[in-house]
């Protein structure tokens, strides 16, 4: 799954989050809804049998640039900019009204201050304050005394991708103080913001990390090392070169990955990735999406559902992509699209890199670029037995709709057996040669995906009324903290 959606800023190739953010565990989502000047926070519940939305309006309309981020407990963090202060609060439903818990404010005028994607665990939230010479990381929710300054990184940083399941390692795309190429670095938040290189493809190439899956170790990057901006993939901590598949090069289109399939432990090649596709040059067309696996070597392009919130979605462990949408008839809905069978799905994926040959998790992810080719994907020689090489990584009105497109894996088309070589687990003992897996018969092709109209799929849902007393909680003004020294 993904914690948030990202989209490309065409002027510099950096990435930013869209207005719809999904919690780290996929249980809740939040966005700024409304029309004209009447903007308000809206929380979506995605963890139940059917999605529904709860409006969380404040005493006055929100500004269009207000940011919202859901936590795993159902509260929504809101970031408002008032004059030179960035104010943070937690919103939650209290019957017919909205409760608000002030968290404090950060005074910062040297540059933009934006929320980072939801942190793993869902109980904390971070923000990135970009200054002219350095970038600060703030813990704005989940701390003991309001906003806390946790790290300082030299240079101007953008992006923000979590590299583990504990919320310790954060990847940022850093531009040096004196200019130069943009490189992704890993920031250790538990060691005072210690910085280590993450992407070093070429000396003068701009290398940005767009997506990372801690389970499989798969990373998706954007780099101009091949001569132009291209999407590539690699394995976190691996010594193999980053590959740039030709199928991810679509003429006159911009591709941005926004979700990766979780649970594919030790199998980065079989980890499904969802990609947003936009027509280049500002063409007046709605974005659509695609599905891709490193082992499939093919990008499946599909039309987006009506009302899709572009760049938002999450995968289930079973390989089902959930896309949220909102229309005039359906304020809160989710479409499920099953990943089609792709080339290479019938056999086991190539082994990942061995931890003995790979660097530590916070070391460079890849140190050379190589185009995707048949030679790079060739199977090992017959006289060399394959060795498993694990990846080194550690309520208010009820209005919702649920649609499913395609066939759930293992249902109508039958569950496919898993080769024994795909079920290896991480161990501290020396790797052994796995037994030879029996050939797997190819599964029948999935049925064509039917067209649908979200607005006519269901009748109006019943309303649910909640009563209660609004709660206002005051907290003492946090004592200013001394900023730690800048990390290199």
pLDDT digit string (tens) for the chain, length 488 residues: 444 444 433 333 433 345 899 999 999 999 999 887 889 999 999 998 899 999 999 989 999 889 999 999 999 999 999 988 999 999 999 988 999 999 999 999 889 999 999 999 999 999 999 999 999 999 999 998 899 999 999 999 999 999 999 999 999 999 998 888 999 999 999 999 999 999 989 999 999 999 999 999 999 999 999 999 999 999 998 888 999 999 999 998 999 999 999 999 989 999 999 999 999 876 667 899 999 999 988 999 999 999 999 999 999 999 999 999 999 999 999 999 998 765 544 433 333 343 333 333 343 334 434 444 433 343 333 343 443 333 333 333 444 555 555 544 444 444 433 333 333 333 333 444 444 444 444 445 444 444 334 443 333 333 333 333 333 334 344 444 444 444 44
User: For residue 469, what pLDDT is reported?
Assistant: 33
Q: Is the pTM of this model over 0.95?
A: no
CA dihedral of residues 385, 423, 368, 214 (deg, nearest 10): -160
Per DSSP, 483 falls in state P
User: For residue 400, what pLDDT is reported?
Assistant: 53
Report how far residue 69's alpha carbon sits from residue 237's, in angstroms, rounded to the nearest whole number.
Answer: 30
Whats the size of the chain, residue-wise?
A: 488
User: For residue 156, what pLDDT is reported?
Assistant: 95
User: For residue 368, what pLDDT is reported?
Assistant: 39
Report how far residue 127's alpha carbon sits from residue 130's, in angstroms, rounded to the nearest whole number.
Answer: 10
Per DSSP, 199 falls in state B
User: For residue 397, what pLDDT is reported?
Assistant: 40
User: For residue 226, what pLDDT is reported?
Assistant: 92
26 and 47 Cβ atoms separated by less than 8 Å: yes
User: For residue 339, what pLDDT is reported?
Assistant: 84
Report how far residue 401's alpha carbon sits from residue 453's, in angstroms, rounded to the nearest whole number.
Answer: 11
Per DSSP, 308 falls in state B
Report how far residue 403's alpha carbon sits from residue 242's, in angstroms, rounded to the nearest whole number.
Answer: 37
97 and 56 Cβ atoms separated by less than 8 Å: no
Residues with Cβ within 8 Å of 26's Cβ and at least 6 positions away in sequence, in order, are: 1, 46, 47, 314
Per DSSP, 304 falls in state P
130 and 112 Cβ atoms separated by less than 8 Å: yes
User: For residue 299, what pLDDT is reported?
Assistant: 94
Strands (E), 131-272: 134-141, 148-154, 156-162, 169-175, 183-188, 194-197, 207-212, 218-223, 230-235, 242-244, 253-260
User: For residue 280, what pLDDT is reported?
Assistant: 81
Q: Which of 99, 97, 77 is nearest to 87 (CA)?
A: 77
List Cα–Cα distances, 369 to 64, 352, 373, in angstroms.
Answer: 41, 17, 12
What are the backbone angles phi and psi of residue 327, rounded to the nearest 5°?
Answer: -130, 180
What are the backbone angles phi and psi of residue 60, rounded to the nearest 5°?
Answer: -140, 160
Residues with Cβ within 8 Å of 171's Cβ and at least 6 positions away in sequence, in order, are: 159, 160, 161, 162, 163, 184, 185, 186, 187, 198, 209, 212
Angle at CA 359, nearest 5°, toward 358 and 362? 140
List Cα–Cα distances, 234 to 163, 183, 245, 365, in angstroms.
Answer: 13, 15, 11, 7
User: For residue 120, what pLDDT is reported?
Assistant: 95
List Cα–Cα distances, 349 to 268, 270, 312, 343, 389, in angstroms.
Answer: 8, 7, 28, 11, 12
Tokens linked to 250: 């679509």
Report how far residue 69's alpha carbon sits from residue 127's, in angstroms, rounded to the nearest whole number.
Answer: 11
User: For residue 110, what pLDDT is reported?
Assistant: 87
């Amino acid at each position: 799954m993904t914690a948030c959606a990202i989209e490309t800023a065409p002027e510099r190739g950096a990435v930013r989050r869209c207005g719809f953010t999904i919690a780290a565990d996929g249980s809740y989502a939040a966005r700024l809804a409304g029309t004209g000047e009447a903007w308000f926070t809206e929380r979506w519940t995605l963890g139940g049998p059917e999605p529904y939305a709860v409006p969380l309006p404040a005493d006055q309309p929100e500004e269009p640039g207000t940011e919202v981020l859901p936590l795993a407990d159902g509260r929504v963090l809101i970031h408002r900019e008032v004059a030179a202060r960035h104010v943070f609060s937690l919103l939650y439903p209290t019957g017919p009204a909205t409760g608000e818990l002030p968290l404090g404010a950060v005074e910062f005028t040297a540059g933009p201050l934006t929320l980072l994607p939801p942190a793993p665990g869902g109980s904390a939230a971070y923000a990135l304050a970009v200054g002219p010479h350095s970038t600060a990381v703030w813990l704005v929710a989940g701390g003991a005394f309001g906003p806390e300054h946790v790290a300082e990184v030299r240079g101007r940083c953008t992006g923000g991708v979590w590299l583990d399941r504990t919320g310790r390692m954060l990847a940022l795309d850093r531009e040096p103080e004196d200019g130069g190429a943009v490189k992704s670095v890993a920031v250790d938040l538990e060691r005072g913001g210690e910085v280590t290189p993450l992407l070093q493809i070429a000396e003068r190439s701009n290398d940005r990390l767009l997506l990372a899956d801690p389970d499989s170790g798969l990373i998706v990057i954007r780099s101009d090392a091949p001569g132009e901006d291209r999407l590539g993939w690699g394995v976190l901590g691996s010594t193999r070169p980053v590959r740039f598949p030709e199928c991810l090069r679509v003429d006159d289109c911009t591709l941005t990955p926004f979700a990766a399939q979780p649970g594919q432990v030790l199998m980065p090649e079989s980890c499904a990735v969802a990609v947003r596709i936009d027509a280049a040059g500002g063409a007046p067309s709605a974005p659509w999406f695609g599905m891709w696996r490193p082992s499939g070597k093919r990008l499946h392009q599909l039309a987006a559902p009506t009302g899709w919130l572009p760049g938002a979605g999450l995968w289930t462990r079973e390989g089902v992509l959930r896309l949220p949408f909102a229309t005039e008839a359906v304020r809160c809905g989710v479409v499920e699209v099953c990943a089609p069978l792709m080339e290479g799905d019938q056999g086991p994926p190539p082994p990942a890199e061995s931890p003995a040959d790979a660097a530590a998790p916070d070391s460079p992810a890849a140190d050379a670029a190589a185009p995707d080719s048949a030679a790079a994907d060739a199977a090992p020689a017959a006289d060399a037995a394959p060795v498993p090489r694990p990846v080194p990584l550690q309520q208010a009105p009820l209005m919702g709709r649920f649609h499913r497109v395609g066939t759930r894996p293992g249902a109508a088309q039958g569950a496919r057996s898993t080769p024994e070589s795909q079920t290896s687990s991480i161990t501290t003992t020396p790797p052994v040669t796995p037994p030879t897996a029996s050939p797997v018969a190819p599964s029948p092709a999935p049925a064509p995906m039917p067209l649908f109209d979200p607005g006519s799929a269901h009748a109006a849902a019943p309303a649910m009324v909640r009563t209660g007393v609004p709660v206002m909680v005051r907290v003492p003004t946090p004592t200013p903290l001394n900023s730690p020294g800048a990390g290199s």
